[in-house]
Structure 1
Amino acid sequence: MENTISYFSRTDYTIIQQSEALAAYGGKISDLREQLLEFFNESIDAKAVVVGNSMGGLLALELAALIPEKVEAIVASGAPGMGSMNLDIGPPKKSNKEESKEWFRDLKKQLFVDPSCVSEQQLESLSEFFSNRRSFLNMIPLAKESDRYDATTILPKIECPVLLLWGDQDKVSPINPWENVPELNSKIEIEMIKDSGHSPMIEKPKEYWKSIEGFLKSTRIQAM
């Protein structure tokens, strides 16, 4: 993620980055939604471009539907909401550091075309985070709830431009169920990033940023 932020910071855009994984903030989508709504209503004065991956992408779409006066555009990748996500390895069995590290080693093979894009230092950091019992316990119900979520209920309500920016080899949340989404809302467009899995912002940060930059220019969204 650091590489992506470095691309963003070379622009005139003001960047607000979430500091921790979503599981640190709650174990229900409704909890996360309310916290984000509170943050936007209290802290964001102008319309924002909201960028999110996986569950973050789904929450970005929800924000656009719920507070259109605060959202200029959305970029979502690998979002749930069109059927079950497929991790293919199940949740980690224990909330301790070594178990978490081993689980993430298996997980990154599912998330990335090239697992080497995640360093041992990043793996250590992730393992440390999910060895926290509260975050560990939050992750499991969030995953189950996202599998039941029906994104088609919110997509027609979105009024701003939306870019669905997907890795072309996303095994966890494949693009296929989303391909007809532009029929629900003409403001939604789809773009694929070649040779990327579930998290293109980590695996292909340069291509990811260029796609976002092109999207913002095409929709005439100015830096704030």
Structure 2
Amino acid sequence: MESFKSEGNGIPILFISGLFAGDWIWGDVTSYFSKTQYTIIRLREPLSAYGHKISELREMLIQFLNESIKDKAIVIGNSLGGLLAMDLASSIPEKVAAIVVSGAPGMGSTNLGIGPPKMGSKEESKKWFGDLREKLFVNRQCVTDEQLDLVSEFFSDRRSFLNMIRLAKEADKYDAKSILPKIECPILLLWGDQDKVSPIEPWKSSIPLNPQIQLKVIENSGHSPMMEKPREFWESIESFIKSVLVHHT
């Protein structure tokens, strides 16, 4: 199976999700985008499917951008995907026109109070991710039992599970403040105001690090506002993209 799936014909937008969820977290948001104006590209699986080091994930994404994108793409990432969006903008600026970062790690560790996951049965895994859902979302109903089953089944695979643990530890030590000043393209920080995994406050304090940073806070939303408030998330991205295009034409 191909790692990426693409639809549309226009400005390329690459969506990268995080450790736990596949491309389905972007489903509602991408449904709003005109497929004649944009080419929507989504990484199919959680990042844990593709490696156990951030450097491995970076190289995979760099290879894709170099081989598949003629000019530049807009990169949108949630959680660890947001961190990778920043990493790509810094590493290959010639391929990244702008980035949207949501719920990224990199501003210190966070204790969610549910302990680390343990390798076990699918039911044990589903219970842990069910507890995690309570921490991640304001509106828990935006994640269905079927989606929870997908996540639990994915992490019943030992390799995927160990990759998740290793990547989570590495992300916990990542210093986003060291990379933000190096990014030359426009940056939109698009955050849920009730994100307990990656709280917004440290990111607000990072704004002076780069004059390219814009901040948009989505109210009554947690770690994944693209699922809880998809229309508002899309409207924020659309407005940002249009401002970027105007600035560069």
TM-score per shorter chain, which class?
over 0.9
Question: Tell me, which stretches of 5 or more residues in structure 2 are unaligned?
Answer: 1-24
- Could you tell me which residue of structure 2 aligns to residue 38 of structure 1? 63
Kindly, what percent of the aligned residue pairs are identical?
64
Deviation at 1:90, TM superposition (A): 2.2
Q: 2:94 aligns with which of 56, 69, 89?
A: 69
Q: Distance in 1 between matches of 2:168 and 2:53?
A: 9
- Could you tell me which residue of structure 1 aligns to residue 72 of structure 2? 47
Deviation at 1:151, TM superposition (A): 0.9
The reply on whether 1:149 has 2:149 as its aligned counterpart is no
Q: 1:120 aligns with which of 133, 136, 145?
A: 145
- Could you tell me which residue of structure 1 aligns to residue 19 of structure 2? none
* Contact map agreement 2:119 2:158 (CA 8 A) in 1: no
- Could you tell me which residue of structure 2 aligns to residue 220 of structure 1? 245
- Could you tell me which residue of structure 1 aligns to residue 85 of structure 2? 60
Coordinate RMSD, CA, aligned? 1.4
Please report the TM-score for the alignment, with normalisation by the length of structure 2: 0.86
Q: Distance in 2 between matches of 1:129 and 1:41?
A: 29
After the TM superposition, which residues 43-192 of structure 1 pair with which residues of structure 2 at under 5 Å, given as runs? Answer: 43-192=68-217
The reply on whether 1:198 has 2:223 as its aligned counterpart is yes
Task: Summarize the Cα distance change of 1:180–1:213 in structure 2 as closer, same or farther, 3 Å threshold.
Answer: same
Please report the TM-score for the alignment, with normalisation by the length of structure 1: 0.95
SS at match of 1:14: strand
Structure with greater proportional strand content: 2
The number of aligned residues is 222
Deviation at 1:196, TM superposition (A): 0.3
* Contact map agreement 2:189 2:213 (CA 8 A) in 1: yes
SS at match of 2:42: coil
Q: Distance in 1 between matches of 2:35 and 2:65?
A: 24
Deviation at 1:11, TM superposition (A): 5.9
Q: Distance in 2 between matches of 1:70 and 1:14?
A: 15
Which structure carries more relative contact order (alpha carbon 8 Å, separation 6+)?
1
